[in-house]
Amino acid sequence: MEESIKKPKRKKVSNNILSPKMQNRLGLLFLLPWLIGFIVFTGVPFFASIYLSFFRVEQTILGFETTYTGWGNYFTILFQHLEFNPAMIEYIVMIFTYTPTIIVMSFILAYFLNMKLRGRLFFRTIYFLPVIVLSGPVMFEVMDAGATGGEIELMNIFIFRMVYYYVPIAGEALLVLFSNFSIILWFTGIPIVLFITAIQKINPSLYEAARIDSASTWQILFKITLPLVKQTILISTIFTIAQLGIFATNPLSELIHESMHTSGGLGQASAMAWLYSIVTLLIIGLCALLLRQKKA
Amino acid sequence: MKNKAIRFITKGSIYFLLICICYIYMLPLLRMISSIFMPEADIIDPAVDWIPRTFSIMNIRVAFSVLDIRETLVNSVWYSALLAGAQTFVSALAGYAFARFNFRFKKVLFVLLLATFIMPLPVLLIPRWIMFVSVQTAVPGLQLIGTPIPQTLMAILGQGVNSTILILIFYSFLRLIPYSLDEAAMIDGASAWQVFWHIIIKMSLTTILVVFLFSFVWNWNETTQTATFLRGGIRLLPMQLSMFEGLFYGAVLDTDAQGAMLNEAYRLTATFITIAPLLILYGFVQRFFIAGIENTGITGE
């Protein structure tokens, strides 16, 4: 994205009739509300929470009282807290199972939706629907209902029972996947749209050239389409991880939210939030590393 | 002939797959819809799966009264609209600045804008909360927590829900408006603000609608920050839903309808009622939503 600013095509903007000084002033002026907000509500809190995580923070009538504890908060969380480590593991497992499923499913769906099919718009409308209704409380209710009704329902399907009978492990795995499948799929809305746009932007003459050289559909898919949407895979992955982090079904953010108001205090909650963020950012960094565009 | 058969089978299986996945997508929603009219007897009856034997509006009445629909619906609508309005305005300003001017540290700021998106919320939430509480205690008579002020302030300063995406939508749309329009107006003596107000805003009415809709929906669904800053100061529909169980038994005790039990149908009906306004909205303007994401330009060119 940052590269796009450099594109010579946009040079026109810099040949502005406004002087550079004027542009500088006006640009910052229009950006001012965002800039203030960024400093006050994102920049300062970012550093403040590092600071807070080394303190014991107590709320009194007069305000907040802080006492320095060094690495105490981190030590307590990692070695003494009963819920933090399991929640962290659950969170990491969730990210590593959900994200690939979401990305693969949304690519497949986007690929199909790009074909000349009847009812394409209908399908798109349905697949985008969850973006509109997805929220914490709704997810809780749906998952609650799904956990009680879904499994029994699945056992009624003949093929599933057959699989379960012959290969119990596969059946078990399918059960876990399918009882959460609706929820997992509900995160694919925006990635699908991103993939559709990316696939549409691929130059059709590339396909033509490949077909003339007698490439099969599979070869075209793996040698042309996939490499060209790599950037989109990365963006969708980052987007998905961010979305999974925001939602209240995430075990860790629930825990952090609880400990804000209970015994551990705000210092401990900050330390938890930091550990959580470091893990999230590391995962995002890892994805960026794996999916980065190799400069030819 | 053989080719045709293969193509037919391929197409057929793609349709089959798409419809199957559609079904999985819709399953939670269908469950909700099916339980709306289901009386208590049919929920327990294993012979009844989707369609109830007798239709009752009991669930709706219970859900309406527990959610206190009249008050919370109105509150949710105006509160989301307020935040969405603020977010739209500031996103337009920021998008205009990024799309039109070359200023110092532009690239750095742009990267910071993108970084805001992946910054996990809990890290920011705690200091923000402390900040508002501190200001509140420092200034006597000022009430911040429990009022719409904190969230409105964050929205108008571009730090609301998914603000980054909203700014990017404006940014990539405004880059498509030819610069010569600005230039012509400026040669005729218009100031940058006049250009923004009379040209940019009027050219991007669709984009404004898209951004507003997204922001509205996201603010409607946002509960983490709302629970922290609003604290039930204004009762909102999704917040009521998250406390449904407690509210239900509270209501039962009040009306001495002893022995009334919370069942799944009540909860699913309440869930459906919470998202129904969004579904109606989506029904009317769904093409804007999809087009909005298509045009964000976050597809990476």
- Distances in whole angstroms, Cα of residue B23 to Cα of each of A181, A185, B17, B18: 11, 11, 10, 9
Enumerate the residues of chain B whose CB falls inside 8 A of the CB of residue A174: none
Distance CA B280, CA B301 (A): 34
pLDDT category of residue B92 using cuts at 50, 70 and 90: very high
Is A206 a residue whose pLDDT tops 80?
yes
Is A24 in contact with B290 (Cβ distance < 8 A)?
A: no
Q: Which chain A residue has its CA at the smallest distance from B176's CA? A: A10
Distance CA B37, CA B51 (A): 9
Is A1 in contact with B114 (Cβ distance < 8 A)?
A: yes
Token output for B81: 């609209």
Optimal mutation site among A129, A178, A201, A282, interface B, most CBs of chain B within 10 A? A129
Enumerate the residues of chain A whose CB falls inside 8 A of the CB of residue B26: 126
Is A133 in contact with B15 (Cβ distance < 8 A)?
A: no
The amino acid sitting at A84 is F
Q: What is the largest CA-CA distance in chain A?
A: 78
**pLDDT-wise least confident of A135-144, B144-153, B204-213:** A135-144
Is A32 a residue whose pLDDT tops 60?
yes
pLDDT category of residue B82 using cuts at 50, 70 and 90: very high
Q: What is the mean pLDDT of residues A174-196?
A: 77
pLDDT at A49: 87
Q: What is the dihedral of CA B68, B267, A245, A112, to 10 degrees?
A: -120
Is A272 a residue whose pLDDT tops 50?
yes
**pLDDT-wise least confident of A91-95, A130-134, B49-53, B94-98:** B49-53
pLDDT category of residue B300 using cuts at 50, 70 and 90: very low
Is B18 in contact with A112 (Cβ distance < 8 A)?
A: yes
Q: What is the mean pLDDT of residues A270-284?
A: 88
Q: What is the mean pLDDT of residues B6-33?
A: 84
Is A173 a residue whose pLDDT tops 50?
yes
Is A145 in contact with B289 (Cβ distance < 8 A)?
A: no
The A residues from 78 to 107 touching B (CB cutoff 8 Å) are 105
pLDDT at B296: 60
pLDDT at A10: 47
- A292 or A40, higher pLDDT: A40
Cβ-contact A212, A155 below 8 angstroms: no
- B254 or B174, higher pLDDT: B174
Other Cβ atoms closer than 10 A to B22:
17
When CB atoms are compared, the residue of B110, B183, B290 closest to A17 is B183
Is A198 in contact with B21 (Cβ distance < 8 A)?
A: no
Enumerate the residues of chain A whose CB falls inside 8 A of the CB of residue B103: 23-28, 31
Instruction: Return the SS3 of B50.
Output: coil
Q: Which chain A residue has its CA at the smallest distance from B88's CA? A: A34
pLDDT category of residue B213 using cuts at 50, 70 and 90: confident
Is B94 in contact with A57 (Cβ distance < 8 A)?
A: no
* Bridge partners, residue A67, by sequence: A56
Distance CA A226, CA A224 (A): 6
Q: What is the tens place of the pLDDT at every residue in B256-281?
A: 555 566 677 788 888 888 888 888 88
**pLDDT-wise least confident of A6-15, A21-30, A40-49, A205-214:** A6-15
Residue A56: phi, psi to the nearest 5? -100, 120
Is A252 a residue whose pLDDT tops 70?
yes
Angle at CA of residue B88, ends B85 and B94, nearest 5°: 140
Is B90 a residue whose pLDDT tops 90?
yes
Is B107 in contact with A5 (Cβ distance < 8 A)?
A: yes
Enumerate the residues of chain B whose CB falls inside 8 A of the CB of residue A105: 21
Optimal mutation site among A17, A28, A34, A134, interface B, most CBs of chain B within 10 A? A34
pLDDT at B258: 52
Q: What is the tens place of the pLDDT at every residue in B156-179?
A: 998 888 888 889 888 888 888 888
**pLDDT-wise least confident of A246-255, B120-129, B169-178, B216-225:** A246-255
pLDDT at A11: 45
Residue A65: phi, psi to the nearest 5? -110, 130
